[in-house]
Amino acid sequence: MQWSDVGIVLSSRPHGETSAVVQLLTRDHGRHAGLVRGGQGSRARGLYQPGNRVAAEWRGRLAEHLGSYACELLDANAARFLDVPGRLLALTSATAICERALPEREPHPGCFEGLLALLAALDGEHWAEVYVRWELLLLADLGFGLDLTRCAGGGDNNQLAYVSPKSARAVSLQAGEPYRDRLLALPGFLIGQGGGGPAQVAAGLALTGHFLEKQIFFPADRELPEARQRLARRFPAVAGEAPGVDDRGIDDSAPA
Residue 52 belongs to domain with CATH number: 2.40.50.140
What CA–CA distance (Å, rounded) separates 21 from 24? 10
- Run means of pLDDT, 10 residues per run, the chain, 256 residues: 96 94 97 95 89 96 91 94 94 98 96 97 95 98 96 90 96 93 95 88 96 96 96 72 36 44
Burial of 15 (0-12, 13-18, 19+ CB in 10 A): middle
**Whether residue 9 is found in the same domain as residue 128:** no
Domain end position, chosen among 78, 113, 138: 78
Range of 8's domain?
Answer: 2-78
**Whether residue 105 is found in the same domain as residue 23:** no
Is residue 246 situated within a structural domain?
Answer: no
CA atoms within 13 A on the CB side of 67: 22
Domain end position, chosen among 78, 108, 139: 78
**Whether residue 41 is found in the same domain as residue 113:** no
**Whether residue 100 is found in the same domain as residue 73:** no
CA triple 40-42-46, angle to 5 deg: 95
**Whether residue 73 is found in the same domain as residue 16:** yes
Element (H, E) at 4: strand 2-15
**Whether residue 226 is found in the same domain as residue 108:** yes
**Whether residue 104 is found in the same domain as residue 123:** yes
**Whether residue 11 is found in the same domain as residue 63:** yes
Burial of 75 (0-12, 13-18, 19+ CB in 10 A): middle
**Whether residue 27 is found in the same domain as residue 143:** no
Is residue 212 situated within a structural domain?
Answer: yes
pLDDT value at residue 63: 83
Is residue 203 situated within a structural domain?
Answer: yes
pLDDT value at residue 237: 58
What CA–CA distance (Å, rounded) separates 79 from 87? 11
Is residue 92 situated within a structural domain?
Answer: yes
Give bridge partners of residue 35 from the DSSP assignment. Answer: 21, 68
**SS3 for 85?**
helix
**Number of separate domains in the chain:** 2
Domain end position, chosen among 78, 109, 128: 78
Handedness of CA 137, 138, 142, 147 (dihedral sign): negative
**Whether residue 133 is found in the same domain as residue 204:** yes
**Whether residue 49 is found in the same domain as residue 33:** yes
Burial of 60 (0-12, 13-18, 19+ CB in 10 A): middle
**Whether residue 100 is found in the same domain as residue 213:** yes
CA nearest neighbour of 171 among 189, 144, 147, 195: 147
Residue 172's contacts (CB-CB under 8 Å, 6 or more residues apart) are 151, 153, 155, 156, 157, 159, 160, 161, 162
Is residue 9 situated within a structural domain?
Answer: yes
Is residue 243 situated within a structural domain?
Answer: no
Q: Sheet harboring 170-172: ordered strands across?
A: 170-172, 160-163, 184-185
Is residue 17 situated within a structural domain?
Answer: yes
CA nearest neighbour of 57 among 88, 24, 83, 85: 24
